[in-house]
């Protein structure tokens, strides 16, 4: 890229090297702006005869073209790209969504020169209109080789980001206690309602049972017939493992355990299984308080019909200490 002072009549198609201000101090054109014929007329009206501009070499791509190209390839789902001044493209959620991020690919992309990408956190909720990622280039231009390398990496391994719409399926909750199921509902329902409201869910299907494998398994089957998209088991006990009543109930109906134990505090006694593609979650102690716990981390992807693997639960250890 070559920077030089050029007569105003010869500036069409070139890039401003510095911002241009009116005599009163108000910005007229930003640095990096690609000059068009109508811009030349405006500058002439301001009395300018020469300006400082840059001209791209053959092996360079303009910053706006580069960031728009990356933004179009790096994501999928419910989002749109909005160009912003200064070689930036923003990705905006178009529906209430859960944002999934391939963190390894994001790191690798950010090791290349010329372009960087920032996203919201993996498994986070984004309401419609919220910015979920931004792509920023080096000033003015990106080398064609760097751009092509990034595009090829995304096409081979992408996307970096998914914006998965939140599904309308209801949340089902099994309230259970070894002696009196109503006790569990009295203890937990106010907290669960407030937790779900944080994610835009204002009602749920609740069923109260004794905490035995027979009663809990029937309750899960009832919620499955009710088309629940996520099933939470709110128990007053802290099970020792999958062999206790809740785990036996899940196994009894053909709901294999995907993961027992999570590297998250609060919430390390997580029991996660799937009946077909419907997640069933037991998280002892996580419905007693509004403090953030493992349920808050898992609900957004589950509500977007994303199947969380045992590996992804294991990866929650970095940053999993939620309470001091």
Per-residue pLDDT tens digits for 193-239: 999 999 989 999 999 999 999 999 999 999 999 999 999 999 999 87
For residue 240, what pLDDT band results from cuts at 50, 70 and 90? Answer: low
The residue among 89 and 23 whose pLDDT is bigger is 89
Is 259 within 8 Å of 267 (Cβ atoms)? no
Percent of the chain having pLDDT more than 70?
99
Structural domain spans, the chain: 2-55, 60-165, 171-317
Fold entry, domain 60-165 = 3.90.1150
Report the pLDDT averaged over residues 75-103.
95
**C-alpha span between 105 and 22 (Å, rounded):** 44
- Given this model, what pLDDT does residue 20 score? 84
Is 88 within 8 Å of 117 (Cβ atoms)? no
For residue 241, what pLDDT band results from cuts at 50, 70 and 90? Answer: confident
Is 5 within 8 Å of 52 (Cβ atoms)? yes
Phi/psi at 256 (5° precision): -65, 150
With helix as H, strand as E and coil as C, how does the chain read? Answer: CEEEEEEHHHCCCCEECCCEECCCCCEEECCCCECCHHHHHHHHHCCCCEEEEEECCCCEEEHHHHHHHHHHHCEEECEEEEEECCCEEEEEECCCEEEEECHHHHHHHHCCCCEEEEECCCCEEECCCCEEEEEEECCCEEEHHHHHHHHHHHHHHCCCEEEEECCCCCEEEEEEECCCHHHHHHHHHHHHHHHHHCCCCCCCEEEEEECCHHHHHHHHHHHHHCCCCEEEEEECCCCCCCCCHHHHHHHHCCCCEEEECCCCECCCCCEEEEECCEEEEECCCCCCCCCCCHHHHHHHHHHCCCCCCHHHHHHHHCCCECCC
2-55 and 171-317 have identical folds:
no
- Given this model, what pLDDT does residue 13 score? 78
> Please, what is the Cα angle at 173 between 238 and 267, to 5 degrees?
35
Class for domain 2-55, per CATH? alpha beta
- Given this model, what pLDDT does residue 300 score? 96
> Please, what is the Cα angle at 74 between 263 and 80, to 5 degrees?
105
Domain spanning 171-317: CATH superfamily: MoaB/Mog-like domain (3.40.980.10)
Q: How is residue 172 written in tokens? A: 């089902």
User: Nearest CA to 200 among 129, 128, 256?
Assistant: 128
Q: How is residue 163 written in tokens? A: 């914006």
Inform me whether the pLDDT recorded for 145 exceeds 80: yes
Inform me whether the pLDDT recorded for 140 exceeds 90: no
Report the pLDDT averaged over residues 276-304.
95
For residue 86, what pLDDT band results from cuts at 50, 70 and 90? Answer: confident
Percent of the chain having pLDDT more than 90?
73
């Amino acid at each position: 890229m070559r920077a030089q002072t050029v007569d105003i009549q010869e500036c069409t198609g070139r890039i401003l090297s510095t911002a241009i201000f009116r005599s009163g101090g108000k910005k007229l054109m930003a640095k990096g702006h690609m000059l068009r014929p109508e811009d030349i007329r405006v500058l002439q009206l301001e009395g300018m005869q020469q300006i400082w501009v840059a001209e791209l070499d053959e092996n360079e791509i303009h910053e706006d073209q580069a960031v728009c190209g990356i933004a179009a390839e790096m994501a999928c789902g419910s989002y749109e790209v909005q160009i912003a001044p200064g070689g930036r493209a923003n990705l905006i959620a178009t529906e209430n969504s859960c944002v999934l991020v391939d963190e390894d690919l994001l790191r690798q992309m950010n090791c290349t020169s010329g372009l960087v990408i920032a996203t919201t956190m993996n498994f986070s909720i984004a309401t419609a209109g919220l910015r979920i990622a931004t792509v920023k280039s080096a000033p003015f231009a990106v080398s064609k080789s760097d751009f092509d390398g990034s595009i090829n990496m995304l096409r081979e391994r992408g996307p970096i980001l998914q914006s998965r719409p939140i599904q309308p399926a209801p949340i089902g909750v099994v309230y259970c206690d070894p002696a009196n199921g109503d006790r569990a509902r009295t203890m937990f329902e106010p907290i669960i309602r407030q937790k779900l409201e944080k994610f835009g869910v204002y009602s749920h299907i609740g069923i109260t049972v004794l905490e035995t494998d027979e009663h809990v398994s029937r309750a899960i089957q009832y919620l499955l017939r009710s088309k629940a998209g996520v099933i939470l088991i709110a128990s007053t006990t802290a099970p020792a493992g999958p062999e206790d009543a809740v785990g036996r109930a899940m196994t009894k109906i053909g709901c294999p355990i995907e993961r027992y134990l999570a590297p998250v505090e609060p919430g390390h006694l997580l029991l996660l299984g799937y009946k077909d593609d419907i997640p069933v979650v037991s998280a002892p102690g996580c419905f007693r308080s509004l403090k953030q716990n493992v349920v808050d981390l898992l609900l957004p992807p589950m509500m977007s019909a994303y199947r969380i693997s045992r590996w992804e639960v294991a990866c929650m250890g970095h940053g999993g200490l939620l309470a001091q």
